[in-house]
Amino acid sequence: MNYFIGVDAGGTKTSAIAYDEAQNKIAEVNKGPGNLSVNWEEAYNNIKLSIDGVIEKQKANELCGIAIGIAGLPANKQTVLVEQFKLYYSVPIVIQSDYLLAYRSIFGNDNGILLVGGTGVVIYGENGMKSLKLGGWGHLLGDEGSGYDIVIRTIRSSIDVYESSGKVPVVMRELLDRLEMDDLESIKTFIYHNEKSVIANLAPIVIESANNEDSFSKSIIYEVAEILFDKLVNLITRLEIEGKIKLAMMGGILTHTSLITDYILMKLKNNGVDVEMIKEIEPNQAVHFYFNSLNEQDDSYQYAVGLMSGTSLDGIDTVLCRIKGVDEETTVDVVDFKTYPYHPTTLERVKYMVSGDLIHVSQLSSLNFELGYEYASCVKKICQENKIATDQLAYIASHGQTIFHEAAGDEEVYRSTLQLGEPSVIAYQTQAMVVSNFREKDMAARGEGAPLVPFSEYILYRDDKAKILLNIGGIGNLTYIPKEGELSGLFGFDVGPGNMMINEAVNYFYDLDYDDGGSIANKGTLINPLLDELMSHWFITKEPPKSSGRDEFGRDFTIQTIEKYQDAKPEDIIHTLTAFTANTVNKHINDLLLDGYGVEQLIISGGGVHNLTLVTMLKELLSKQSVEVLTQEELGFSSDAKEAIAFVILANQTLHQKAGNVPTVTGAEKPVILGSITYPK
């Protein structure tokens, strides 16, 4: 018998459940907490032990797939964890945040809202292409409305009562009895020495007391219910949900008391919101959604893979999508996203090729085919993991690895661009059609050939707010989307180096690929003369449209800069290069504001999102302009997948014989159909 394992790794416990192909539960093993952000080693071991326990019980049966939902899952560790678990179990693995696992178990791909109330609170909803998560700060700050929050509110309110009347509320005495404490003063010791999940375990006492009509406890519960109601209304508004709302609630503070759920439903009804309550389902059951739903999807959708390997050389972004429609009617769903590392020897050859050193034509030709095989391997991997045959793909969109990009040109060098990754190899290896070479046609039309992502951003993000979408890859580029604007009002350009100079400096000083989390930059201080010199670079002061690459801000330029300031501390140089990236963005946004363009939001994507020091710098610089700074993740999207998705959309335009460039962005003379098509036969 075939079976699947669904794992729900939360702040309190980890449960692994085995289901047969008919979705019947056939085994269950529970272990301790699975929140990676609290204790990585403990959580990781509990997840693995729970899976091993189920497998031990199912020796006679065949495991076909594992889906794991993990609390505190770092976005940049998802791919690593998938690969580790694949090595252990040799089956397809899906890893998601725990709230997403719970959502899929209940709603699948349908629109809806899930409210999870436990140690922390998470509210997640989807409406068409829009998704949004609120909460989920439980072990960092403590979510308002969570089990932890209930206990802390009870203690604080009890202190107020005690200090004003000398009396301790009944429910507080029950809490003290549970903790075997004699007086209210002792509660400080308990709070100081326990994690939020342990404190939250006391919430059922308050809930039970409220259910027994204790007025003090009920006041606490109604405070919490009001907070959760406000969060729900905020999410409904931001997702622009109209009509009946499908709502599911789950978690200890919601399932142990009807006071909160009844209050929320009453308030929603009083505010004219039509709600359909959806029954709670074990999050673990989402394993069937992930491994069976691909065969049950709408036939109007087509499967496609997007490949993007940027100037930062940090891997091959590979996205599997379902796509339908064209132009403004385009709809895209992400099935899976992975970043696969280059083979080490291939990466060294790419680095040499982009370094600007003397190369032989034979090396260039060889690398073109070598990258084709690398890209084909990525397509095969992601399709195999999702049980899709590569020859069933409608197409593969391959950006290729940029080796050279010269948008200006001169008397000796034509304006040109070159991306490697032979599409014929990809097509033959996968037996799928390949769309590639996207930049050349725009340059032939006198455009810069970059950036091309803005068209996809217009398709995915246009709404009633004027916004800038900032991608921080090797190069930083922005797209301006006007408020409810037409495509003709869209424009964008490269603003300067994104991660490129930071990565080169970190590699130079520390032999690391990147500044993880911006930790090195955070230790440094600003070198003002260096920042002033960098901000005077000709590209930064040049008027748009403009595009850039390694020729302006690559290794040679970075090392020259480092050597010029060789007496400075490495962390100070890296801090200043990080500030340079932030200041280039701030400078260009200020220029737009001065020119009268309204900017309400800045939405950041790309690898730079993971550099917390850089993001903090951006927020501080833009706070004076009343510009809201958000990351893609805060809107429910993946920062890392954005560019790969963009080329899936552009290839879709190509196959429909529709333009994919935006002349107001690239400077092209007119809209043109981008890309070349390579057939598999």
Domains observed in the chain: 1-142+213-296 (3.30.420.40), 297-452 (3.30.420.40), 456-643 (3.30.420.40)
Q: What is the distance between the alpha carbons of residues 609 and 611, in angstroms, rounded to a whole number?
A: 5
Per-chain mean pLDDT for the chain: 87
Mean pLDDT score, 373-388: 92
For residue 613, give Cα distances in angstroms to 273, 364, 497, 507, 515. 41, 37, 16, 18, 10
Say if CB 413 and CB 420 are below 8 A apart. no
Give the E-state strand segments of 555-646 in sequence order: 601-605, 628-631
212, 112 in Cβ contact below 8 A?
no
pLDDT tens, residue by residue, 42-61: 989 999 999 999 999 998 88
| Res 296 pLDDT > 60 | no
The pLDDT of residue 47: 94
265-289 as b/e: b if 16+ CB within 10 A = bebbeeeebeeeebebebbbbbbbb
| C-alpha Rg value of the chain to the nearest Å | 27
Residue 295: the pLDDT is 45
- pLDDT band with cut points at 50, 70 and 90 for residue 305: very high
At residue 397, the pLDDT reads 98
- Strand-pairing partners, residue 479, are 469, 492
Higher pLDDT, 408 or 647: 647
pLDDT class of 388 with cuts at 50, 70, 90:
confident
Query: In whole angstroms, what separates CA 384 from the centre of its chain?
Result: 23
Nearest residue to 44 (alpha-carbon basis) of 103, 90, 88, 104? 88
Would you place residue 289 in the very low, low, confident or very high pLDDT band (cuts 50, 70, 90)?
Answer: confident
User: What is the model's pTM?
Assistant: 0.52
pLDDT in tens, 597-653: 888 889 998 889 889 999 999 999 988 888 888 887 777 677 788 889 999 999 999
Question: What pLDDT shows up at residue 294?
Answer: 44
User: What is the rounded distance in angstroms from the CA atom of residue 220 to the CA atom of residue 226?
Assistant: 10
pLDDT for 253: 64
* Site of tokens 């397809």: 92
